[in-house]
Amino acid sequence: MKAETEPTGVLMRRLLRLLRWRVWIQERLQPTEWQVTLMWAAVAGFLGALTSIVFLTLTERAHDWFGNSRLGVVESMQRLPWWGCLLVPTVGGALAGIVLKFGQRLTRAQSSTDYMEAIVIGNGNVPVRGSLVKSAAALFSIASGGSIGREGPLVQLAAVVASSLGRWRKFSPPQLRLLVACGAAAGIASAYNAPIAGSFFVAEIILGTIAMESLGPLVVSAVSATLTVQVLTSAHVLYRVPSFQQVSAWEMPGYIMLGIIVGVLAPVFLLSLKHAENFFVSLKLPLIARLATGGLIVGAIAINVPEVTGNGYSVVVDIVNGRLMWVSIVGIFACKWLATMASFGSGAPGGVFTPSLFMGAGSGLLFGTMLHHFFPSAAVDPRAFALVGMGAFLSAATHAPVMAVILLFEMTLSYDIILPLLLCSVIAYYTSKGLKGTSLYSEILKRKAAAAPDPTLGEGRVADMMRPNPPTLSANAQFAEIARAFLNVRVNNIYVVDPEGKYVGVVALHDIKPYLAEPDLAELVIARDILRDDFPTVAPDQPLTEALAGFLGVTAERLPVVDRDMLLRGSLAKGDLLLALVEKRKSPQGLPEMTAAGGVRSTSPELGDVAATTAAEAKR
């Protein structure tokens, strides 16, 4: 035996001791690939929440400047003279147009900024500059009182941060898409202080599945974002509502009718937005003038009805708390509809998610009040109808009833209305779906899906998911080199290649683990002695569904990708494959489909309000 004091022997002993520690830690502490994914999901959630806070702060500052006051949008509009009401949204629209116009120079070479497209039909790459330009434009249109939601840019910014994070960490396309989805969930969760709805929003509408492979990271991201917002700001329940009496059976027919009414109204609302979009396109105005015109219309309405400005949040709070008379709501409801058509139709960046809540609250209260007038016991408290109407309208507009119910519950924490809310939302969903197969953004996504083939569907091949340049060893690598390689990279199998790069086999950490305390072996054993040449491999042109079979019978997290000439091309991660197959379960044409359990499986990744304007711009 060589003397233990010999430098190489000492070095080898230290190396093996380190490797033993590494294996010990790995077995007890080292996270699996899924745990690592969850960790990055949490980071994406945290960063998404920070961007949301920054954007909201900037929006408030910009609004302070526009309205010359620190009040809310509606309140400051009420204080402005008539010419101020006209001027502020017009200037805001023009500024948004200027930002978009000049921003086009920066983003000309970039692909679509839409995060939904990046998740559903893209590779998870959300361009940074384009997203910043669009969000900056949204900031002006929102801060100046445009009848548009601010949730869209929040989700967009959270998604772009997640995308940048994933690209920095060199995530594979399926992982990157999932991380962008996590960013989107974080954006929704931060905007509405609603982690469950944030997760389901993305799962149900964008990903079209609630499989744990994707839902788990979404939940972690949404929780991380919500916690961050709660710690750093004075976030609270979004809509404080009075407690309602337990709904009696006599009221249920009324809620069923409300479900049908809202189920009809939502598609009409969406259709009107589309017509408004077409109308503004037909005007053939330059971009800046078109957005200024949209702002001018909102301003003109706001002279007499300032409640139409902004996303409608404060008016919804007044409605569900019974602070507005039904007569005034009729006027506000009609004017808000027009104002949203003007803002959305002119292409103002922002969203129609919160305005949809307003439409639901308004229609619910009006119907409830009317019912109460004729049959008091059929609608004991019309405010409860307003609350239920919000969820039902959202369900009908987004075709995502589960998300709608959860979102409303999280925003109000009112369990009193859960039964009618569930019933009404489902009825509204079926009614809307029966009338019009598309939802809030599915038109856009269908257009996008038609424009770009979905890499995750049907033709998915191993080469699409493969990670290049896996760590390798030569067949003659000494034990010390093998130990060093396992210490340097966090894998359980290292591929062995010959000098031409041809695949020879695999050295498994599992095989050498029991012998790490045997430094004598280091003098004798080389990679060729311990490699496994019967380890399963996959080919680059193999369909993903076939590749899955390769993982059966082995505990490996990755398989080597070997071409016909036996050249090692990369590795295929089981996590990536499962994500891709989860995505593949979505229906092909972006159309939602019902699951047996009654939930919605939708491929139309249509949420995020900014997407709506993206398509409008594309059309123009």
Partner 1 sequence: MILDLDVDSGLAAVDAIHHRVVASSDAVRNGPQFLADVRARMKLAPVCLSGELAMPHARTNAVSRLVVGIARTVGPLAFDAEHPAVRFIFLLGTPKAAVTEYLQAVAALARFFRSPSARARLLEAPDEAEFRAVLSGSAAALR
The residues binding partner 1 (CB under 8 A) are 1-2, 475-476, 478, 508, 511-512, 514-515, 518, 520-521, 523-526, 528-534
Chain length of the chain: 620
Residue 351 or 505 with smaller CB distance to partner 1 = 505
Q: Which DSSP letter does residue 27 get?
A: H
The CA distance from 99 to 617, in Å, is: 14
Residue 475 or 548 with smaller CB distance to partner 1 = 475
Residue 475 or 487 with smaller CB distance to partner 1 = 475
> Contact 549/147 with Cβ under 8 angstroms?
no
Q: How far is the CB of 15 from partner 1 (least distance, A)?
A: 17
Dihedral of CA atoms 288, 294, 297, 298 in degrees, nearest 10, equals -120
The CA distance from 203 to 215, in Å, is: 6
Residue type at 95 in one-letter notation: L
C-alpha distances in Å from residue 211, one per residue of 429, 536, 551, 579, 582: 22, 27, 19, 9, 7
Q: How far is the CB of 476 from partner 1 (least distance, A)?
A: 5
Q: How far is the CB of 502 from partner 1 (least distance, A)?
A: 17
Residue 508 or 573 with smaller CB distance to partner 1 = 508
> Contact 284/451 with Cβ under 8 angstroms?
no
Computed from CA positions of residues 541, 214, 356, 89, in that sequence, does the dihedral angle turn out positive or negative? negative
For 265, residues 6+ apart whose C-beta sits below 8 A from its C-beta are 359, 363, 393, 396
Residue 10 or 39 with smaller CB distance to partner 1 = 10
- At 2 the three-state DSSP class reads coil
Q: How far is the CB of 530 from partner 1 (least distance, A)?
A: 5
Computed from CA positions of residues 86, 88, 93, 94, in that sequence, does the dihedral angle turn out positive or negative? positive
Residue 3 or 325 with smaller CB distance to partner 1 = 3
Q: How far is the CB of 520 from partner 1 (least distance, A)?
A: 4
Q: How far is the CB of 569 from partner 1 (least distance, A)?
A: 24
Residue 461 or 513 with smaller CB distance to partner 1 = 513
Neighbours of 514 (CB within 10 A): 9
Rg (CA), the chain: 28
Residue 403 or 477 with smaller CB distance to partner 1 = 477
Closest CA to 188 of 178, 201, 176, 177: 201
Beta pairing class for 472-474 and 493-497: parallel
Q: How far is the CB of 455 from partner 1 (least distance, A)?
A: 37
Q: How far is the CB of 13 from partner 1 (least distance, A)?
A: 13
Residue 523 or 563 with smaller CB distance to partner 1 = 523
> Contact 152/138 with Cβ under 8 angstroms?
yes
Q: How far is the CB of 492 from partner 1 (least distance, A)?
A: 14
